[in-house]
Amino acid sequence: MMVSVSSLKADDLEKAYDFLVAGGFFETTGRISKAKLGKVVDTLKDLGDIPRGFAAEQLVLPDVTELTE
């Protein structure tokens, strides 16, 4: 799926995925730090990847993900 929607090569995507899994970058408990998520959102705003008015809460699925302090 990622190959079909991106301009990346399958080999590069596989390496990136393996890196993220090995590094424990995927949240498995359903609980995400509001402060950490906010830092990611702020960085994406600074890079111009998302609009200034974007709120971190927009990334949370109600009844699936819990924001923690």
- Give tens-digit pLDDT for 9-62: 999 999 999 998 998 888 889 899 999 899 999 999 999 999 999 999 999 998
Residue the block writes with tokens 């424990």: 24
How far is the C-alpha of 54 from the C-alpha of 69, rounded, in Å?
19
Residue the block writes with tokens 């090995």: 22
pLDDT of residue 48: 93
- Give the domain extent around 24: 2-68
Count the domains in the chain: 1
How far is the C-alpha of 19 from the C-alpha of 23, rounded, in Å?
6
| 37 phi, psi to nearest 5 deg | -65, -40
pLDDT of residue 51: 96
